[in-house]
Amino acid sequence: MLWPFNRSKTRATSRAGSPPATIEAIYGMIVAQARLPTFYETYGVPDTVNGRFDMIVLHLWMVLRRLRGIEGGTILSQGLFDQFCSDMDANLREMGIGDLTVPKKMLGFAEAFYGRTGAYDLAFEAGRDDLAAAIARNVLISTDAAKAEPLTAYAMGVIAELESFDADRLQSADWAFPAPTAPVAKEQIQ
């Protein structure tokens, strides 16, 4: 199976000032986590190029959200975004997209990134139900927020875990995402 967006390292360097090795390490963790088969086999994420892209964006959003709250986080955030753009560009080229089409596709990626992360920010502030609806719409391509509850529970757990890391730990890439667990069926909860 072809797994676009599966590099753990890319060659972009940071114009923002964060050490490139740290940016590569954190971005590599984001990509590795986003491509775990559990999300596609158990959580209902479409096993498509778009599904994989949406999982990278979701994980990147969670990290960028946490970085907003720490000193120096803006610099690392910019480096991660630059790495994301470089990775998307490289993947398009590897998939055979021509040089003249790449900028249009990159514009589409940027619009999707900003649209989704903006929706997640607003939804997170509004509450868990709104976040589930945003994840359902953007990741699962569904209007049924209940279908996104397992992925929302996972995202809330990741956000809580990231909040527990101090600034030095978060910026040193001395951490890992929590493992996704198999969602519990509603019948098993009752």
* pLDDT tens for each residue of 75-109: 999 999 999 999 988 877 777 777 777 778 888 88
Total domains in the chain come to 1
- Asked whether residue 107 is domain-assigned, the answer is yes
Are 140 and 131 in contact by the 8 Å Cβ rule? The answer is no
Which pLDDT does position 5 carry in this prediction? 45
Write down the pTM of the prediction.
Answer: 0.85
Report the alpha-carbon distance of residue 18 to residue 80 in Å, rounded.
9
Report the alpha-carbon distance of residue 126 to residue 7 in Å, rounded.
34
- Asked whether residue 8 is domain-assigned, the answer is no
pLDDT along the chain (190 residues), means of 10: 40 54 95 97 94 97 95 92 90 77 82 96 98 98 96 97 94 93 57
Query: In which residue are the tokens 């470089």 written?
Result: 86
DSSP label of 5: S
Report the alpha-carbon distance of residue 152 to residue 155 in Å, rounded.
5
- Asked whether residue 180 is domain-assigned, the answer is no
Which pLDDT does position 15 carry in this prediction? 43
- Asked whether residue 154 is domain-assigned, the answer is yes
Report the alpha-carbon distance of residue 20 to residue 25 in Å, rounded.
8
- Asked whether residue 183 is domain-assigned, the answer is no
Which pLDDT does position 167 carry in this prediction? 92
Which pLDDT does position 13 carry in this prediction? 40
* Structural domain for 57, as ranges: 20-174
CB atoms near residue 48 (< 10 Å):
12
- Asked whether residue 151 is domain-assigned, the answer is yes
Report the alpha-carbon distance of residue 190 to residue 180 in Å, rounded.
22
- Asked whether residue 3 is domain-assigned, the answer is no
- Asked whether residue 45 is domain-assigned, the answer is yes
- Kindly report the backbone phi and psi dihedral angles of residue 118, in degrees, each rounded to the nearest multiple of 5, phi listed first: -65, -45
Report the alpha-carbon distance of residue 148 to residue 45 in Å, rounded.
9
Report the alpha-carbon distance of residue 132 to residue 55 in Å, rounded.
14
